[in-house]
């Protein structure tokens, strides 16, 4: 049985020491919403978290000066296959290497969408660095994301490539800092 | 109290009694590939081989419970008797007689491969393990289902315990075991290898064939592994029913259209049909194709290359009882 989330405005707020991540949405029936987010240490190491809307309370985000959305290419190719990188999490492509950066499934304005966005090969890399500076609120605005998608873009994208890159770029452009 | 405990242990040992059951340590397994193969690509320190790990991997490899309807195993498309290829099948078959889009590549010397599958979509042997398990036209299965079956089986928990110290079944252990078994599948005992080791000599025909091979084929099929870990055009027109554009599927770069991974030619005698879609049934058909498009060989020269290619047949590999179905 799949859980269905009806997100109206602020649907999820991830309480953390210093950094809050929330998801805004109207008219979205979100069945699946998962993404990899990584905290970059001052030494450049990345500690990844898997944000799963259906298990939001499990996520805690300590403040760092920069974060990443998606998974770096090294971790894509040489994986531990454990913990949040266990393919059992449903974020691993099996017909090729790599992890889905953002997984969204549901309906927008009554129309079904399935977006499995990711990829680590140029020029379609789905990996984004966020410099947080002094900001402490990270808002993923799904309303704006869907509104700003190109009208001719497919609602079913499950492979890396140009379309996935377009949708991913639209997604990250709607990750707002406050 | 500590002194008392020590005394009990010492007493126990001195009386020849066993006070506890010591954990059996998995036995380390050492690969012994020929030096001329060069360094393995796979980092074996990340997954040290053990006899127990290999035994578990072998059991999994031959077990159809990995597939959704428990009808096909890895060995269905990778038979040990044909160098772990799917002989006589142009395209691999999945559950319910579903037909794939590519010819199953043989499994041999995989520790030296940098990429896997005809399009190189997988760049690590660990990742390759899961591809056929999830593919809808192969096993069409999934890890949670497989793990549930393994946990409820009569013998897998014990095999996992023997290999890894306890009965826990995880993705990491599942992958490690299957990889361990595949890493021992080293083919290095063909006549070519005997010649290389100075134990045999090519016939005059084979020798001429090797010379021709080096001039016409070896830039892609580089000895001693007879592959180059790269992608090349095989000059074949695309099959309109399959529309397989090879490497392009992974990179989406126009220049990668119709490039396919260069397969190893070791054991080519056993691995027919040939090419990514299995469109050629014989080695001579392949030679004719390249003769018409790339090379210009006389019939005699084709025969000489053919004679050399047969020196890559490793009968001891395809008949190794340690690689066959575990009884």
Burial of A9 (0-12, 13-18, 19+ CB in 10 A): exposed
Q: Which of A94, A122, A126 to mutate: most B Cβ within 10 Å?
A: A94
- Residues B260, B214 share a domain: yes
Find the length of chain A: 178
Query: What are the tens digits of pLDDT across the range B257-298?
Result: 999 999 999 999 999 999 999 999 999 999 999 988 888 899
Supply the DSSP string of A48-71, one letter for each residue. Answer: EEEEEGGGGGG------SEEEES-
Contact residues on chain B for A87, CB-CB shorter than 8 A: 130, 143, 171
**Residue the block writes with tokens 């199953």:** B104
Phi, psi of A118 (to 5 degrees): 175, -175
- Residues B210, B258 share a domain: yes
Burial of A79 (0-12, 13-18, 19+ CB in 10 A): buried
CA distances B160 to A53, B53, B112, B127, Å, are 34, 8, 27, 20
- Domain locations in chain A as residue ranges: 5-177
Q: How many angstroms separate the CA atoms of A37 and A125, rounded?
A: 15
Residue A54, pLDDT > 60, answer yes
Q: Closest CB to B121: pick one of A78, A92, A96.
A: A96
Nearest Cα residue to B309 out of B288, B275, B285, B283: B283
- Residues B182, B117 share a domain: yes
Of all helices (H) and strands (E), which one includes residue A101? strand A100-108
User: A with B: how many residue pairs have Cβ under 8 Å apart?
Assistant: 50
**Residue the block writes with tokens 């063909």:** B190
Residue A8 pLDDT class (50, 70, 90 cuts): very low
Q: Is residue B238 part of a domain?
A: yes
Q: How many angstroms separate the CA atoms of A25 and B266, rounded?
A: 57
- Residues B156, B234 share a domain: no
Q: Is residue B24 part of a domain?
A: no
Please give the ipTM for the structure prediction: 0.75
What is the percentage of chain B residues whose pLDDT exceeds 90?
Answer: 87
Q: Which one of B169, B187, B205 terminates a domain?
A: B187
8 Å CB contact of A87 and B121: no
Q: How many angstroms separate the CA atoms of A44 and B126, rounded?
A: 26
Q: How many angstroms separate the CA atoms of A99 and A79, rounded?
A: 10
- Residues B40, B113 share a domain: yes
- Residues B177, B97 share a domain: yes
Q: Is residue B21 part of a domain?
A: no
Q: Is residue B131 part of a domain?
A: yes
Of all helices (H) and strands (E), which one includes residue B204? helix B204-216
Residue B299 region by backbone torsions, left for phi larger than 0, else alpha for psi between -120 and 50, else beta? alpha
CB B230 within 8 A of CB B221: no
Bridge partners, residue A49, by sequence: A37
Q: Per-residue pLDDT tens, chain B, 327 aa: give them.
A: 444 433 333 333 334 344 445 457 899 999 999 999 999 999 999 999 999 999 999 999 999 999 999 999 999 999 999 999 998 889 988 999 899 999 999 999 999 999 999 999 999 999 999 999 999 999 999 999 999 999 999 999 999 999 999 999 999 999 999 999 999 999 999 999 999 999 999 999 999 999 999 999 999 999 999 999 999 999 999 999 999 999 999 999 999 999 999 999 999 999 999 999 999 999 999 999 998 888 889 999 999 999 999 999 999 999 999 999 997
Q: Closest CB to A97: pick one of B123, B144, B252.
A: B123
Q: Is A161 in CB contact (< 8 Å) with chain B?
A: yes
Q: Is residue B60 part of a domain?
A: yes
- Residues B83, B164 share a domain: yes
- Residues B219, B199 share a domain: yes
Q: Which one of B145, B163, B187 terminates a domain?
A: B187
Q: State the residue range of the domain holding B177.
A: 35-187
Q: Closest CB to A77: pick one of B124, B134, B175.
A: B124
Bridge partners, residue A5, by sequence: A30
8 Å CB contact of A97 and B122: yes
pLDDT at residue number A60: 56
Tally of domains within chain B = 2
Q: Closest CB to A78: pick one of B124, B143, B251.
A: B124
- Residues B39, B183 share a domain: yes
Query: What are the tens digits of pLDDT across the range B160-183?
Result: 999 999 999 999 999 999 999 999
The CATH number assigned to the domain holding B267 equals 1.10.760.10
- Residues B119, B245 share a domain: no
- Residues B164, B42 share a domain: yes
């Amino acid at each position: 049985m799949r859980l269905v989330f009806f997100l109206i405005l602020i649907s999820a707020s991830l309480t953390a020491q210093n950094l809050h991540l929330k998801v805004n949405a109207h008219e979205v029936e979100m069945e699946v919403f998962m993404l990899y987010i990584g905290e970059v240490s001052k030494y450049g190491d990345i500690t990844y978290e898997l944000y799963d809307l259906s298990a939001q309370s499990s996520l805690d985000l300590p403040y760092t000066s920069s974060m990443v959305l998606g998974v770096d290419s090294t971790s894509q190719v040489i994986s531990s296959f454990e913990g949040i990188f266990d393919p059992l999490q449903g974020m691993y492509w099996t017909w090729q290497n790599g992890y889905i950066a953002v997984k969204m499934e549901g309906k927008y304005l009554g129309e079904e969408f399935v977006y499995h966005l990711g990829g680590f090969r140029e020029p379609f890399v789905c990996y984004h660095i966020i410099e947080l500076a002094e900001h402490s609120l990270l808002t993923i605005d799904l309303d704006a994301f869907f509104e700003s998608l190109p009208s001719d873009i497919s609602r079913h994208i499950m492979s890396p490539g140009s379309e996935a890159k377009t949708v991913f770029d639209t997604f990250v452009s709607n990750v707002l800092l406050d | 109290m500590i002194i008392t405990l020590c005394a009990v242990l010492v007493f126990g040992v001195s009386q020849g009694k066993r006070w506890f059951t010591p954990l059996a340590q998995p036995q380390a397994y050492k690969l012994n590939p020929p030096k001329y193969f060069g360094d393995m690509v796979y980092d074996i320190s990340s997954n040290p081989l053990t006899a127990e790990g290999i035994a578990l991997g072998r059991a999994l490899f031959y077990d159809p419970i990995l597939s959704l309807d428990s009808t096909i195993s890895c060995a269905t498309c990778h038979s040990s008797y044909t160098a772990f290829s799917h002989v006589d099948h142009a395209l691999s078959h999945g559950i319910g007689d579903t037909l794939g889009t590519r010819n199953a590549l043989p499994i041999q010397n995989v520790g030296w491969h940098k990429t896997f599958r005809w399009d190189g979509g997988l760049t690590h042997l660990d990742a390759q393990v899961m591809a056929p398990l999830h593919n809808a036209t192969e096993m069409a299965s999934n890890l949670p289902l497989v793990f549930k079956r393994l946990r409820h089986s009569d013998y897998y928990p014990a095999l996992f315990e023997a290999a890894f110290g306890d009965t826990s079944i995880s993705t990491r252990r599942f992958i490690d075991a299957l990889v361990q078994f595949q890493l021992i599948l080293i083919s290095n005992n063909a006549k070519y290898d005997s010649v290389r080791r100075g134990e045999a000599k090519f016939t005059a025909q084979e020798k001429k064939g090797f010379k021709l091979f080096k001039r016409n084929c070896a830039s892609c099929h580089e000895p001693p592994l007879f592959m180059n870990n790269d992608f090349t055009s095989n000059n074949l027109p695309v099959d309109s029913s399959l529309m397989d554009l090879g490497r392009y599927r992974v990179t989406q770069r126009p220049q990668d259209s119709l490039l396919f991974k260069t397969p190893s030619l070791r054991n080519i005698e056993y691995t027919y049909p040939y090419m990514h879609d299995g469109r050629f049934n014989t080695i001579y058909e392949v030679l004719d194709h390249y003769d018409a498009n790339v090379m210009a060989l006389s019939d005699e020269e084709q025969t000489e290359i053919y004679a050399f290619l047969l020196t890559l047949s490793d009968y001891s590999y395809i008949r190794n009882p340690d690689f066959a179905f575990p009884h």
